[in-house]
């Protein structure tokens, strides 16, 4: 998921082409059903929060396999992406039915990439990367990204100090990229929640007119950029800090249990074996003592002499 600026040439002719509204979907035979499903979804949900209805024609290419997908997106895209948007060309490349299990729901993946293009159509290059990715995730209802924050105490308690610091994370490894997406989603969701009635509509209007996010934030929400950034950090900490800490402690406790349990079981087995030996030794000592007592009684009976009656005294 992301925006790529390069323009790779298509490696081969794709036999199937589906047309509907402003969308064209091209795919191989194996992905024809997926292509039809994606086209229906795009036509059904062709509006995006806070933005006017998009008008640009969009080409959606479904790669039949991983190698073709990598060839179409070019060498500059990160390895972990499952789909990419090319705003300058109004084109999306995504994986087909051969995509790995972690590629995500293709309907939602397409919605994410279409949100990138819808935002670019109206705002151009004004949005920074964190807003671009956060908006696409939010428009695609990728609410499960918040689970990344809830499960990571470092993120929830301030792993990223500024909104701008998220940008470098999108081009990093999978784990850091997931964290950046999650926090960017949280930031855009936080912005949209400030105005419950109009969401991001006024922000986009003022931002487009003034060319400044800081000015747009002041006019739309009465906040400075720094003020919103602090709000985003504070509210993320309050909302997820305790949960992340609990999750982290629970995970730590689980690891501790996994480490201690074998030692406990070994100690318990040794205690049982020692107790069994002690019981056996006690039983053996009791048996020997009993046999010794019986032997002593027998010997006492054999050695005893007849009792001599006392002498009879006479008186004169």
The residue behind tokens 């990344």 is 148
* Alpha-carbon gap, residue 76 to 6, rounded angstroms: 8
Model pLDDT for residues 270-302, shown as the tens digit of each residue:
767 776 777 777 677 777 777 776 777 777 655
* Alpha-carbon gap, residue 108 to 306, rounded angstroms: 111
> What pLDDT does 303 receive?
53
Q: Phi and psi (nearest 5°) for 86?
A: -120, 90
Q: Which fold has domain 1-125?
A: Glutaredoxin (3.40.30)
> What pLDDT does 14 receive?
52
Q: Which residues of the chain have pLDDT under 50?
A: 5-12, 153, 156-157, 243-258, 260, 304, 312-316
pTM of this prediction?
A: 0.71
> What pLDDT does 161 receive?
72
> What pLDDT does 247 receive?
43
Residues 6+ apart with CB under 8 A from 161: 233
């Amino acid at each position: 998921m992301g925006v790529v600026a390069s323009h790779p040439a298509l490696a081969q002719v794709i036999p199937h082409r589906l047309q509907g509204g402003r969308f064209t979907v091209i795919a191989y035979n194996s992905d024809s059903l997926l292509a039809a499903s994606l086209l229906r979804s795009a036509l059904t949900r062709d509006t995006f929060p806070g933005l006017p209805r998009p008008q640009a024609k969009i080409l959606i290419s479904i790669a039949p396999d991983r190698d073709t997908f990598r060839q179409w997106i070019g060498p500059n895209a990160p390895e972990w992406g499952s789909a990419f948007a090319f705003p300058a060309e109004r084109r999306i490349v995504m994986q087909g039915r051969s995509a790995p299990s972690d590629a995500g729901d293709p309907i939602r993946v397409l919605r994410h990439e279409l949100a990138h293009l819808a935002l670019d159509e109206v705002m151009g290059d004004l949005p920074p990367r964190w807003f671009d990715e956060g908006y696409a995730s939010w428009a695609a209802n990728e609410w499960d990204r918040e689970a990344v924050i809830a499960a990571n105490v470092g993120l929830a308690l301030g792993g990223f100090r500024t909104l701008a610091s998220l940008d470098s994370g999108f081009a990093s490894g999978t784990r850091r990229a997931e964290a950046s997406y999650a926090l960017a989603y949280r930031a855009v969701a936080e912005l949209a929640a400030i105005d419950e009635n109009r969401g991001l509509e006024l922000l986009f209007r003022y931002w487009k007119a003034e060319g400044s996010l800081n000015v747009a934030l002041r006019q739309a929400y009465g906040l400075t950029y720094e003020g919103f950034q602090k709000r985003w950090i504070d509210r993320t900490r309050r909302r997820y800090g305790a949960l992340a800490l609990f999750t982290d402690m629970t995970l730590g406790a689980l690891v501790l249990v996994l480490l201690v349990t074998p030692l406990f079981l070994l100690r318990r087995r040794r205690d049982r074996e020692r107790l069994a030996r002690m019981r056996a030794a006690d039983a053996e000592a009791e048996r020997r003592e009993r046999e010794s007592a019986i032997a002593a009684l027998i010997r006492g009976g054999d050695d005893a002499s007849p009792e001599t009656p006392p002498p009879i005294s006479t008186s004169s």
